[in-house]
Structure 1
Amino acid sequence: MTWKTLIVRVTDSCDGTCYGCLWRKNRISGFTLPVTTINDIVSKMKDFSFDESVILCPNPLYNPKISDIILSLKKVARKIYFFIPVNSLSKVRNKRIMESIDELVIVTTTPEDFKVNEENLKIILSQGFTNIALYVAIGSHTINMDNILSLVNMGKEYGLRIRVGEIPYSTALTLDIKSILAKKGYSVGFTYGMLYGYMASMAFIGNYPVTILAKPLTGECRKLFIDPYGRVSKCPLQTSYLRVDKVTSDILRSLIFSECSIGCRRFELIPKIEISLLTPDGKEIPSEVLSLLEVISHVNSLRAACSIMGFSPSTCVEKIRKVEKEVGIKLLISKKGGKEKGATVLTDEARRILEMYREIRDMVSESLYSEKGIMRFKLG
């Protein structure tokens, strides 16, 4: 199934200080996207469904109609992700907004910025909002592992979902975060799906699951971008736009399914590998179930694992039960008493399966992400 992402910038005003971001607080002109523009898009795409809508920085809260915009986006998108710079956390007080989005994504580039705004995060968490992710944004091509490790530990302390990637839609160049983590000895998995319009992979840093984000392959890029000035394009990195009031439903669809003209990975061959396991009689344990088992083994919670991987609990349960039925073994146990009450853990059979998967994956990863492996797949 093709993953489709609707990306929206609702203002060009920001009070964030993210290093390397084009929208830092000194760039403020006050434009806000009218609700009527979103409604126009929704009307033209009424029989079309996006898998996700990403409301990008700069600070969406500068748009006074943001609540209405979210409600309109929910008509065409299954999930709503709301990006906000960490310096703007003090402004997150609208309960209606928090209850209408699927995830609040806090963007930060330095541990210092996170530390300064820690009390504001505590206030949000104290109100019962737990659908929060920490986006560790890398603002240059010199990846500071100390910053990443510090921010992962800070996010882990509050039980936040951790994402690591470029400053969202800030450059046409490609950050190879996975290979750097693998070379430093961290456990890195293969791509398991899409998130925020990026390819998502799972890594474990300090035994904590972290989602690594990378630009999608050209043929898998299915996006539509709406900017604060009422224009549409394929993605935020493009410089050619069309006025929303001048486009038809057919034009919008052709934009979504057109080939990306940015060509972020045009000169690379990217290995795309999925590992499945087969029983002697040919029954398959697919890669996404194996990845799910690995996350569960770390967090001891099916619901938390589903949240980390971006799946609904019902979808995960369906996948697990299908494998259990076909293979004839039980994979998960729900603890109903004692200290582990409410936890979900792997059965002995599932642990053996996971151990085999890890051994195979690590062998393949070492081949792909070693210095020789990386050079082997470069064309230029």
Structure 2
Amino acid sequence: MNILAVQPSSKCDSNCLACPWKEKFSCVGVMLPLEALEVLTSNLEDFKFDEGVLICPNPLLHPKIDVITREMGKFCRNITLFLPVSVSRSFLHKTFLENVDFISLIIHTYKDLKSSLQIVKMLLSQGIDNLEAYILLDSNSDFAELFSIIDLCKSYGLKIILGPSFYTSPYTDKFLEKIVKKENVEIGLHYGRKYFYNAIKIFIDNYPVTLLTSPSAENCRTLYLNPYGNFSKCPLSKFEVNYKRITREDLRKMLFSPCPVSQKVIRLSPKIQVSFVTKEGVEIPGEVLELLELISQINSFRGACKVLGVSPSTYWEKIKSLEEKLDISLIISVRGGRKKGITILTDFAKDLLKEYKEIRERAIVSLYEY
């Protein structure tokens, strides 16, 4: 995934705890020169970023934020705007938000969220459906407080992400160790990548939450533009060039250089493959177990295949072949009646899936103990 991260302003009207940018920028009010994006446009030619992110300090404080979002739309397929949840309501004009695809509210504490619910309601009342809660997870996070934040976000139907301050290492290990002991919690399928990190899905009382697990170092293609108009791979990179001197070769070098964040942390990513073998030597492969898990969640065979990016016809044959070898059914397709067009698991498949989840969760947690 190619990601462009832009910080339009070093100024902020919020007072978030543990803000990583206060020390770096002092929040003095430096504003990104619009020429920096014009230079980027001229050097990119037909290249497009999969995602553009506008990150804190508060991007809306830039007087030309509407111009910046329009310019980014020329070379970013999607744009996500990150804002502190305690942002002043006076900046939330709908005209500023029309050019962004997603809005992510950064939440540090339960108190911040509770005192800013009018912000959430205001955004929802403007018809903004792609509203996300980005809950910061760090070494000082209180486990009980995190669940209180999650419960409050759930009540408003927000998409939820648990992750670190951008460009820092996640504190996933302790969180996973605690969460697997909690009732009504499941660790789901591997989500893939989200922003700059690998991610997995967890289900808290059946509500999906994305957990960022480790820096997405493999094929990391990111570019960072700070309020001074300096380009780099990310804030941790030593190679930085101002927009007045940047060349196409410089940009290419930044995009294809190694991930600085990953060099400071463990390289393991929780991608676990679990399979079962019967006493008769019949293997139930991990790919089939993942498919069964998705079917249990969405009650659709074709829908599950679509999510996994596999051919329904191929996997239908695999399921039927496996059922013949086991001499027992795994799925039931209902074609008529009130439940027309759904696929459900048999009792045997449900028991199999339960054991699969338990083993996989223990394996994922054990990865972070090294």
Shorter-chain TM-score bucket reads 0.7 to 0.9
1:154-192 superposed Cα distances (whole Å, 9 cap, x missing partner): 1100100001111223x3575434444335463223532
User: 156, 163, 166: which is aligned to 1:165?
Assistant: 163
Q: One-letter code of the match for 1:16?
A: S
- For 2:112, the equivalent position in structure 1 comes to 113
Mapped to 1, the partners of 2:190 and 2:78 lie a distance apart of 20
Q: In the TM superposition, what are the counterparts of 1:128-167 in structure 2 within 5 Å?
A: 128-138=127-137, 140-167=138-165
Which has the higher Rg, Structure 1 or Structure 2? 2
Mapped to 1, the partners of 2:212 and 2:186 lie a distance apart of 15
How far does residue 131 in structure 1 lie from its aligned partner after superposition? 0.8
Alpha-carbon RMSD: 3.9
TM-score of the two chains, using structure 1 as the length reference: 0.78
Mapped to 2, the partners of 1:164 and 1:334 lie a distance apart of 39
Mapped to 2, the partners of 1:246 and 1:334 lie a distance apart of 64
- For 1:308, the equivalent position in structure 2 comes to none
**Structure 1 residues 174, 122: CA separation in 2 closer, same or farther (over 3 Å shift)?**
closer
Aligned-partner SS, 1:367 = helix
Mapped to 1, the partners of 2:136 and 2:209 lie a distance apart of 13
**Structure 1 residues 269, 289: CA separation in 2 closer, same or farther (over 3 Å shift)?**
same
Contact 1:190 1:273 in 2 (8 A): no
User: 289, 313, 336: which is aligned to 1:325?
Assistant: 313
Mapped to 1, the partners of 2:364 and 2:144 lie a distance apart of 24
Mapped to 2, the partners of 1:334 and 1:53 lie a distance apart of 43
- For 2:360, the equivalent position in structure 1 comes to 364
- For 1:84, the equivalent position in structure 2 comes to 83
- For 1:247, the equivalent position in structure 2 comes to 246
1:330-352 superposed Cα distances (whole Å, 9 cap, x missing partner): 99999999xx9xxx995214997
- For 2:328, the equivalent position in structure 1 comes to none
How far does residue 130 in structure 1 lie from its aligned partner after superposition? 1.1
1:73-96 superposed Cα distances (whole Å, 9 cap, x missing partner): 122222111000011051453223
- For 2:74, the equivalent position in structure 1 comes to 75
1:52-91 superposed Cα distances (whole Å, 9 cap, x missing partner): 1111111000111111111111222221110000110514
Q: Indicate the larger mover: 353-362 or 216-225.
A: 353-362
- For 2:191, the equivalent position in structure 1 comes to 192
Between the two proteins, the alignment pairs up a number of residues equal to: 350
Mapped to 2, the partners of 1:37 and 1:187 lie a distance apart of 45
Q: One-letter code of the match for 2:161?
A: R
1:76-128 superposed Cα distances (whole Å, 9 cap, x missing partner): 22211100001105145322333321210000111111111112211221222
- For 1:307, the equivalent position in structure 2 comes to none
Mapped to 1, the partners of 2:20 and 2:262 lie a distance apart of 21
**Structure 1 residues 28, 324: CA separation in 2 closer, same or farther (over 3 Å shift)?**
same
**Structure 1 residues 213, 63: CA separation in 2 closer, same or farther (over 3 Å shift)?**
same
Aligned-partner SS, 2:27 = coil
Aligned-partner SS, 1:245 = coil
**Structure 1 residues 152, 267: CA separation in 2 closer, same or farther (over 3 Å shift)?**
closer
Contact 1:190 1:274 in 2 (8 A): no
Contact 1:5 1:52 in 2 (8 A): yes
How far does residue 244 in structure 1 lie from its aligned partner after superposition? 2.1
Aligned-partner SS, 1:88 = coil
Q: In the TM superposition, what are the counterparts of 1:280-299 in structure 2 within 5 Å?
A: 293=295, 296=298
Contact 2:153 2:160 in 1 (8 A): yes
How far does residue 327 in structure 1 lie from its aligned partner after superposition? 3.2
Q: Percent identity?
A: 29
**Which consecutive residues of structure 1, in runs of 5 or more, have no partner in the other structure?**
301-314
- For 1:62, the equivalent position in structure 2 comes to 61
Mapped to 1, the partners of 2:63 and 2:362 lie a distance apart of 50
